[in-house]
Amino acid sequence: MAAEAIITASHAPAAALDPRAEALFLEHQHEIYCRTDRVFGHLMWIQWLAGIAFALIVAPRTWMGSTSQVHLHVWAAVLLGGAISLPPAVLAFLRPGKTSTRYVIASAQMMMSALLIHVTGGRIALSCLRFPRLPRVLP
């Protein structure tokens, strides 16, 4: 009998729900979105530093005869990685919980995956863990 009440309550129309319960749910959901955005804000600068570290480990220098210079992958990790990581990191702390912030973070995560594949010389297995699992981020 109690199971039927739970099933009936979970399938009740939205208008029949208690307005206070709905407000509490929406408030809690917003808090979760804000916290998740801030975590990804920190993750953006950490993965930027990790991309630089990978570039320095994989190919720190390029040689042309007897002269060497910093490899293009290092510059890509520093400059392009910074350009990819900065906007979502800033938005994560200035506008946490906004849908547009989640769009920017998800897009930046995908771009950082592409950069990581490029920096590591096409080792795609390293980027398999990189795509965030945020529900309803992209339609």
Q: Is the pLDDT of residue 119 over 60?
A: yes
Average pLDDT score over residue span 132-136: 54
In a domain, 138, yes or no: no
In a domain, 36, yes or no: yes
Q: What single string gives the DSSP state of each residue in 58-121?
A: H-SEEEETTEEEE-HHHHIIIIIHHHHHHHHHHHHHHSTT-HHHHHHHHHHHHHHHHHHHHHTT
Which domain, by its residues, includes 92?
17-127
Average pLDDT score over residue span 67-86: 82
For residue range 2-47, what is the model confidence (pLDDT) as tens digits? Answer: 444 444 455 555 555 688 888 889 899 999 999 999 999 999 999 8
Q: What is the mean pLDDT of the chain?
A: 77
Residue 59 — left, alpha, or beta (φ > 0 → left; ψ -120 to 50 → alpha)?
beta
In a domain, 6, yes or no: no
In a domain, 26, yes or no: yes
**Number of structural domains, the chain?**
1
In a domain, 134, yes or no: no
In a domain, 136, yes or no: no
> Which has the closest alpha carbon to 118: 73, 78, 82, 57?
73
In a domain, 133, yes or no: no
For residue range 46-62, what is the model confidence (pLDDT) as tens digits? Answer: 988 888 887 788 776 66
Whole-number percent of the chain with pLDDT over 70: 69
SS3 135: coil
The pLDDT score that the predictor gives to residue 93 is 92
The pLDDT score that the predictor gives to residue 101 is 92
